[in-house]
Amino acid sequence: MDPDPAEPAEPADVAAPPDVDTVREIVRDLPRSYEVLVRDQVKFRVGKIVYLAFSPDEQVLGFAFPKDQREAMLAAEPDTFVRPRPSDLRFHWLEVRLAAIDRAELTELVLDAWRMVVPKRVAAAHLGE
């Protein structure tokens, strides 16, 4: 049966928003990074430092981010980024709505967060800098 020409066709190449499996793919080869489950929340660490943490519903990703740049990022993209809860404001931390970004943006956020918590020489060796 032919599709009704009055109904718009759904685009075939609409990508689903990134999710926890997307993050796993990005961090898979990052030196010193590993995944943990803390109170049913997926988190990624380097040593004991958490640099990525999913919300319980896995719709929001918290990530290491410079405190001095947080307010500017929140002001620039208020529909994308979320202020951390008050107890996390003392940390270098920001949160992003996964539905508001694509894989390329997620990759950049993840790599920048990882770079904040590993020794500079490890990041430079891995990223070829």
Flag whether 1 is in a domain.
Answer: no
Q: Which residues pair with 95 in a beta bridge?
A: 62, 82
The reported pLDDT for the residue numbered 7 is 52
The reported pLDDT for the residue numbered 12 is 46
Q: Which residue has the tokens 């993209």?
A: 77
Total tally of structural domains belonging to the chain: 1
The reported pLDDT for the residue numbered 14 is 60
Please tell me the pTM assigned to this model.
Answer: 0.85
Flag whether 2 is in a domain.
Answer: no
The reported pLDDT for the residue numbered 15 is 75
**At a CB cut-off of 8 Å and minimum separation 6, what does 26 contact?**
106, 107, 110, 111
Copy the structure tokens of residue 81.
Answer: 């980024």
The reported pLDDT for the residue numbered 29 is 94
Taking only the tens place, the pLDDT of each residue in 56-90 is 999 999 999 999 999 999 999 999 999 999 999 99
Residue 35: give its domain's CATH number.
3.90.1150.30
Domain ranges, residue 122: 20-127
Q: Tell me the C-alpha distance between 19 and 114, whole Å.
A: 17
Report residues of the chain scoring pLDDT below 70.
1-14
Flag whether 87 is in a domain.
Answer: yes
